A and B are shown apart, each in its own frame.
Chain A
Amino acid sequence: MSDRTRIVIAAAVGSVAVFVMATTLVHALWYAPDDSGATPAVVTATPAVDSTADDYPVRLVVPTLAIDAAVQRVGITKKGSMGVPSNFTDVAWYRDGVTPGQYGSAVIDGHVDNGLGLSGVFKHLPDLAVGDSVYVVTVTGKRLHFVVDAVKVYSYEDVPADVFAQSDVSRLNLITCEGKWVPKDRTYDHRLVVFTSLRE
């Protein structure tokens, strides 16, 4: 094999290595992968007062955690789970449910970490305590004030439908991953949910 051929081969190998390194780095730091989940359950809910359905959230602010994040809008993935933000610094609101400020349970999720194990936007969500304030800024500039009522942890396969269920109270539930990594399902084994309610 001539030197020229060896150089060409080495260049090709090096090129592939650089390409792989770049894509892996970008995916780990910026790209939030989609998840898998069970078949969604159908819930018959009480009617919601619908006067602000178009006043969707654009920012989530949690002063005690120094969170001031943009809010993406997500639906249900092909596998039936709530969508997630496409990066690790934004949060995501479930747009097919309740709008924050309406009666019922609006839900916002965010990543706990990224592909390199570095902190995601909701890394410190477990530090929230009852009485802490959470604010949502809507597209019309309205600022909604929610207060934490409870912080609960569930097994990832047993998160109750009540987290998304409508009620006669205006709620905002924040959700993220917790616990240990489950390699076969590529997810953490628990979900942490912060339940808040609207303060007038």
Chain B
Amino acid sequence: MVLRKIAGGAALAAALFGGGAFVAFAQTGATSTMQVATSTSGMGGVGTYTTTTVPTAPNTGAGGDAEANVLLIGVSAVIAVASGVYIARKLRAH
């Protein structure tokens, strides 16, 4: 009976974890982009020039959020474990 409850709790936790991961992965679609390339004619018939829009530098870093992410993961893990322990004790008492 106890094993069933543990297995059930583990399955529920795995489902929740998987659900959260699925939601997170579902948001990892390609960055929304827009194409703004245009072309114009050159002056005096010298030639055809292509006018393109130049982007600004990309943001290729995320490590600055590391502390906040680690804190969030740690706190949520502690809360999840504490909730599980509390539920297990309550169920055992009954």
Contacts and interface: CB of A to CB of B under 8 A. Distances in A.
Interface of A: 3, 6-7, 10-11, 13-15, 17-28, 30-38, 40-48, 72, 74-78, 80-84, 86-88, 92, 94, 96-97, 109-118, 120, 122, 154, 156, 159, 161, 163-166, 175-177, 181-183, 186-188, 191
B37 A96 contact: yes
Given A13-B83, A17-B77, A37-B55, A116 B29 contact: no
Given A11-B83, A14-B87, A40 B19 contact: no
B58 to A, nearest CB: 4
A99 to B, nearest CB: 13
Interface string B64-81: 111001101100110110
B86 A35 contact: no
Given A22-B20, A23-B23, A115-B63, A78 B32 contact: yes
Contact of B31 (A11, A47, A83, A120): A83
B32 A33 contact: no
Interface residues of B, number: 60
Contacts of B76: 17-18, 20-21, 24
Contacts of B53: 40-43, 76, 96
Nearest to A8: B87
B61 A14 contact: no
16 contacts: A6-B86, A17-B79, A19-B19, A19-B23, A25-B73, A45-B52, A47-B49, A76-B55, A77-B31, A80-B56, A82-B58, A86-B28, A113-B61, A115-B69, A116-B66, A175-B57
